[in-house]
Structure 1
Amino acid sequence: MKPLFTEREIRGVAIFLPLALLALGVALLARPRTDAGAAREAETNQRHATRRDTLRPKPFDPNTVSYEQLREMGLTQTEAASLVRYRSYDKIFRIPEDVAACYGIDDSLYRVLKPHIRIARRYTTAPQGYRPGRMVAEPLPPEQFRIDTVSARYLEAIGALTRQQARTFVKWRDTHPICDMAELHKCYAVSDSVATALEPYIIFSEREPAAPRYPIELNDADSATLLLVNGIGEKTAGRIVRYRERLGGYWRTEQLTEVEGMTESNYEKISAQICCDSCRIRKIHINFAPASELQRHPYLTPQLLRRILKTRQLKGGWSTPEAFNEDNRLKPGEAARLAPYLSFAPPGGDDDE
């Protein structure tokens, strides 16, 4: 009987089959993987984001936290019961990672809880020779505190700093006032991550204003500088500045008694803290100033202003204060207080210096 395949055909099949299987294996290995891994990773990230949104974690010790406290932080019944049940088997949380070993605490939940886990030192393995009496029995939940008066013991008790770090911080703070987060970050004993975690609880003291240099010059001071004078408030400071603009500057400190709301007793209180430089006053060119400029000055009453404008139109102006006073029939008191603000030279003349 004639065989179905020749010997040559059998040898060809024997060679072809291994090569075909090898090619198929290479093709399977080279084929792009499905996106199952990426999908699982995306699902995990989504689960982590969801847990961050639903949880309200607070600092806690897993060795003492209650079921009710865990529920308040947003854990489900199963998750909270799992952590509490873990302790019922006489197990102790020695390190934060032990929380992840609880049945029902998945990775997404653990990642959210980890920054808030505070394990008391009595539950950790103390080094040989450590004095248990100096251990902090329980980590205190952080509350708002003043950074300029907080003790090293408190910073250690809430688990923010070690004992040595807390002592170093207090020594540094006593010589470097801390009034904002930028100054806190400068302290080498406090890491950036700890400073950021403490920020919601810190109460900063107000920065002390620089000591004012007395006396304060009235014609150069702004409202903020005037507030440094004991006896001058915000309203009074604003009125002093506005009246100075109308006058053109203060010639004598006594002119403050003309400011609205300034009493004689209040002036006596602040008089020793102020002075004025009469060289800073702004003068009026009485022979050339327009009526709109003249009428703004508080010493030029409407009646006096009409006389000045009428006489100036007829005579063309004045060359001396005496002639001005005589023509406008000024009383001695009126002439004396108005004289420092009048210039009889043309604008830019010698009287302006």
Structure 2
Amino acid sequence: MWKQLLSSYFSFTKKERTGIFILLFLIIVFTLLPFLYPLFIKSKTVDSTVFEKEIATLKIKQQDTANQYVKKNFDEDNYPNYYQPAENNYNTKNKGELFYFDPNTATTADWQRLGVKDKTIAIIQNYVNKGGHFYKPEDISKIWGLHPDEVQRMIPYIQIAPKENTYPQKTYEAKTYDKPKNSPSIIDVNNADTSAFIALPGIGSKLAQRIINFRDKLGGFYKPEQVGETFGLPDSTFQKIKARLSISNSGIKQLNINTATVDELKAHPYIRYNIANAIVQYRAQHGNFSSVADIKNIMLVTEEVYSKAAPYLTVQ
């Protein structure tokens, strides 16, 4: 059995053996090809001396350009401080006269007496004329051109007057506002539409539509408390809106118990099928009802059922 199985898988024809040898030869050739490639193709040697010379020349030119830019734009010996005057240019032997002054009201002559340079005086006057104000003696240190020693020399003599309020002070009259009293609107439950019910607290569009559908099935409300029987209306919500419900004098739709069918009677929310069927059967056996109260003779009609359904029934 094993011999037959092996012979079925490993017995080849002459053409198949030839193909297998050729395939093995190609696999060996392609496997050895990366190792034989350098023997047949020689890589070119690159002379990097020319490239290194060009890099060295570029570095020399870059250094020359940097040194030339520094010499042209920056003089280390004469570098000016753009925020404070140079120490070498400041005359430590100040010839100014010291006296008490207010930098907010001092004139050009006052600053000259203090020994301040004309250029710095022009900066101070320009600052004050544009609305600038010195609030404390140390504020003069912010003026460009005043040396720190010069500032410290003048600070003890600075007397700044309090700034006057140039804006007229407005007087406001105390006004009392009466809070408007919003009296809640009263709606007629027999004539109100969905928008009127939605205006009530806790009533959305779905509840408003349910109230109207319930009203249509009843034939109208005869007392506001019936709204609380609407399916899905929480009692807590009804208690909130109860005081805003009213009933108009419009009549409600009534059913004639002497002519109504079982289907007409059972369609009313207060009359179930068994009661509707009992009313029709009683009428067939005893004749027409002389008054609505006669339906009390039917055993299924309890006092509760009668009190709720009677306003919607008639014998005429």
Larger Rg: 2
TM-score, structure 1 as length reference? 0.36
